[in-house]
Amino acid sequence: AQSVTQLGSHVSVSEGALVLLRCNYSSSVPPYLFWYVQYPNQGLQLLLKYTSAATLVKGINGFEAEFKKSETSFHLTKPSAHMSDAAEYFCAVRPRSGAGSYQLTFGKGTKLSVIP
Amino acid sequence: DTAVSQTPKYLVTQMGNDKSIKCEQNLGHDTMYWYKQDSKKFLKIMFSYNNKELIINETVPNRFSPKSPDKAHLNLHINSLELGDSAVYFCASSQGDRTFADTQYFGPGTRLTVL
């Protein structure tokens, strides 16, 4: 079964500083990888996804993520944090084939706080 | 227009009651899902459903059942509610074609509180 680990349940950065949120997956075949954001009391919004076309994926709101097969990672970054980035961020995986290939498996989430 | 909508947004009820949460999508998607988010924000798939296939997460109690009157709707029925059912429930939809392009779109969530 596939799983995804997000290191750090809570990350705090200063406004204008680099944002780095970590995600590692475990599966023998690289899955499809996603980052979602959840603002307070809202549903999940897709930030970006990795589909194997390019290892560096650009998403909305200035976020990007790099797929590294050797490290089984898909870390999310943003060069300069903005107050509006404060939210919960979820990494998710979906297998490329087989049973459950419809379904997303989520990490436990990382809460990002931005300090003025 | 809201792509994936859920009603109600908040639901407070007593233990033992039966309740339903409605979900509608206007994206023309073939597959819909229900997720449960617990108090620690952990999201877990409960069901995925299209007109050909229902996949049930084996950990979901049979008190929970999805009902789909048509392709645009997937309602969640919960019988004999328990305290542990308190959570936020999210509906989602996608094309369900299992390709890389298949992206799930989420509703705003329904916060269920069982007293």
Percent of chain B with pLDDT over 90: 65
| Chain A residues lying within 8 Å of B105, measured CB to CB | 46
Which among B43, B48, B103 is the nearest to A106, CB-wise? B43
Give the dihedral sign, CA B24/B28/B30/B32: negative
State yes or no: pLDDT of B98 exceeds 70.
no
State yes or no: pLDDT of B1 exceeds 70.
no
Taking only the tens place, the pLDDT of each residue in B26-40 is: 999 989 999 999 998
- Residue B37 corresponds to which tokens in the numbers above? 């988010």
Q: What pLDDT score was predicted for residue A22?
A: 97
Q: What pLDDT score was predicted for residue B55?
A: 77
Alpha-carbon torsion, ordered B6, B7, B11, B16, to 10 deg: -90
| CA distance linking residue A17 with residue B101, whole number of Å | 32
Query: A3 versus B14: which is more confidently predicted?
Result: B14
Percent of chain B with pLDDT over 70: 95
**pLDDT band at residue B101 using 50, 70 and 90 as cut-offs:** low
State yes or no: pLDDT of B103 exceeds 70.
yes
- Residue B8 corresponds to which tokens in the numbers above? 């109600």
Query: B97 versus A93: which is more confidently predicted?
Result: A93
Q: What pLDDT score was predicted for residue A99?
A: 63
| Chain A residues lying within 8 Å of B106, measured CB to CB | 36, 43-45
Q: Residue B66's closest CA among B106, B108, B36?
A: B36
| CA distance linking residue A92 with residue A100, whole number of Å | 13
Blockwise average pLDDT, block size 10, chain A, 116 residues: 88 97 89 92 91 86 94 96 96 79 86 96
Which among B43, B98, B101 is the nearest to A102, CB-wise? B98
Taking only the tens place, the pLDDT of each residue in B63-79 is: 999 998 888 999 999 99
- A50 contacts A67 by C-beta, under 8 angstroms: yes
Mean pLDDT of B44-60: 82
The 3-state DSSP class for residue B74 equals strand
Taking only Cα atoms into account, the Rg of chain B, rounded to an integer number of angstroms, comes to 14
Q: What pLDDT score was predicted for residue B102?
A: 80
Q: Where are the beta strands (DSSP E) in B62-114?
A: 64-70, 73-78, 87-94, 105-106, 110-114
